[in-house]
A and B are shown apart, each in its own frame.
Chain A
Amino acid sequence: MSNAIEIQGLRKEYHGFTLEDVSFRVPQGYIMGLIGPNGAGKTTVIKLIMNLIRRQAGEIKVFGLDNLRYEPEVKARIGFVYDTPRYPEDLRLKEIAAAIAPFYEGWDRSRFTALMEEFELPFKATFKKLSHGMRMKFSLAVALSHNADLILMDEPTAGLDPNFRFELIEKLRSIIQNEKKSVLFSSHITTDLERIADYITFIHRGRIVFSAAKDELLETWGVVKSAGDGIRPADIPGFRGYRRTDYNLEALTSDIATARRNLGPAAVYDKATLEDIMFFISKGTGHD
């Protein structure tokens, strides 16, 4: 399977934060969710792919091309959606699009018009008049109008209300699935990614915790719940983190089947959601 993105040994150091040895792949034609708590390094990874910040080590290839050496060629194939869209606020949407369109050979005017209508965006409105949600939609319309093979989205649903998020995700899903585009979608809102992603990469404190197929994750990971002190976290196969209340132990395991087999009726077993995984690894006890 060819890859849309291949990242190897990426490193970026800031004062008080280091992105260290980040490696993962986004298979072509699939949606990869990049999850992690705030400050985990998601935006840093996306900015490094876009060469908006300088890496200190590592390699990034987009469709097999080095992202620095072939910067224009690589960026021509990427549709980029920022966490906060950056456009001159006093310009009309049609003026912004007119300024950006010439950079992309594949710019499809009729497609842009259709997306603007679908997203109910007025061409004549100035950017400053748009709400945050409308701004994200406009950014998405621009990113999807030049026939990009890879869509990079940095927290596109952050700050949106649930209805708006749902609407945006559904539109995104229908557009992307119909056209077999590759997508890297960063978010700390795991429910959005549960609905849309094929693969999940979890980043925490600047390091990759795992990168795997979502269905496999949700199938094999689970939460073990036990009353009292009958089970020690270390006894749970595939143990990845736990929390203990006065009466209960709740632990995350990456191997729920073995845990069930070994511990038997001493515990209750639930499938883990992405939220569980993110919670136990970032906030739970015992995760190294």
Chain B
Amino acid sequence: MNRWAGAALVLLTMALCCTACRRSPNHTIAVIPRDTAEEVWVSEHGGAADAAYKQNLEIDWNGPTRDDDVEQQISLSERAIRSGDYGLVLSPNNSFALGTVIQRALSQKIPVVIVGAPISIAPQSGLTFVLNDTEKMGMLAATRAGEILHGNGKIMVLGFDPLSPGSVERADAFERALQRVAPGISIVDQVSGSMSFGQAELASEQAILAHPDLSAIFALGINATRGAAAAVRNMKAANKIKVIGCDQTLDLLFLLRHGIIDSLIIEDTRTMGHLAVQQIAAQRRGESVPSRRYVEPLLVTRRNVDDARVQEVLSLRWRPKP
């Protein structure tokens, strides 16, 4: 009987040790962007890596290979939960589909920070937001449209996607700001739907044909901006139609430098990544953190693209800076 009791005790101890090992948090923060290769997310990588280095933490940086791949984001998030990661920094590419996995992380006491755009879940214990200031983004775009169109003209909004986080907020903010700063400019069309580059190009071409007096396109995302730029160039309408785009990639910045795109409203994802990692560390230390923090975007034109502040946000350095 004693031997059986001893064996049971050993097994119980081993099981408890295994459970304890599994549950003990490591010091790795999973950072999952919408897409890893575009410049906008490389900046987030750099910001998160810098902050983690200073906090003596590590980051596990990986994301889907396309910005509409929800399944890969869920899979990576679940891996972080299984590994008992120190925290999860997530930039969801769908407003609704990641709610369950976020709740699962919170139930495992893993702090989660949403970066970039809000989603359908409200802030709660363990869940905080570091967001792009979309009101400011709308204001920058509207002000720029007012400047280049001299307060009058017709503009189209391209890339409105209700399922893509931030898309609705950007379109609404732009509309509100336009009414305030340039009431003489009217929105003649709002093309919605999830868009690939080709689809955006086609939609832009059709809109240009449908509205001969169109004077500008405000594109809400990377693919929409690429498509708008390609359509304007293909239809030889570059002198007539200005493109104001959102978010930064190296090819969009190249087009901006060549005047094919008038301006880009870029997100300061470097600061967002930095703040997100800081928030995770602060939560783990038991400190209180604000449920929402907003980071201001920047307007980039050919005139200011080489400014130090703009180049700092656009930095390609993703390895931590000692």
Are the chains A and B members of one assembly? no
Query: A residues within 8 Å of B by Cβ?
Result: none
Spell out B's residues near A (CB within 8 Å). Answer: none
